[in-house]
Structure 1
Amino acid sequence: MVDCELLSKCGFFSKYQDSKQAACSGFIAMYCKGSKMDDCKRKAYRKENGVAPSDDMMPTGSMIAN
């Protein structure tokens, strides 16, 4: 499977790609490099609003609590 075409521009991926949190690595495996790529809420947000969402918005649409 190919990586998401927005990977190089994705704030979530850039910020969390090296995270040791299982949730982040799981989302990256499923949404950024896996079968749920077309279900990414970050992609939908960018398409609808013309700008990238917050880096802390997960591919599911939920926000990571800091």
Structure 2
Amino acid sequence: MTSPGRLVPQEDLPREVWGPPQGDRTPCVRVYMARLRRKLEADPSRPRHPVTEPGTGYPFET
């Protein structure tokens, strides 16, 4: 969220949240994003925030 409009790669997000890597945390990120959508979105199957760019990362808009 420190760089609005910037795409955050899937590999960078866990490092920003949990610190130095200790294995592949990419699956954890997907699980947490799905949980966030269920809590935040009116229709989680058609998310507005956070949106996933498949194979790339998550663009965060303000």
Q: TM-score range by the shorter chain?
A: under 0.3
- Which structure shows the higher helix fraction? 1
- TM (norm. structure 2) is 0.26
- Structure ranking higher in strand proportion: 2
* TM-score using structure 1 length: 0.26
- Higher RCO, 1 or 2 (CA under 8 Å, sep at least 6)? 2
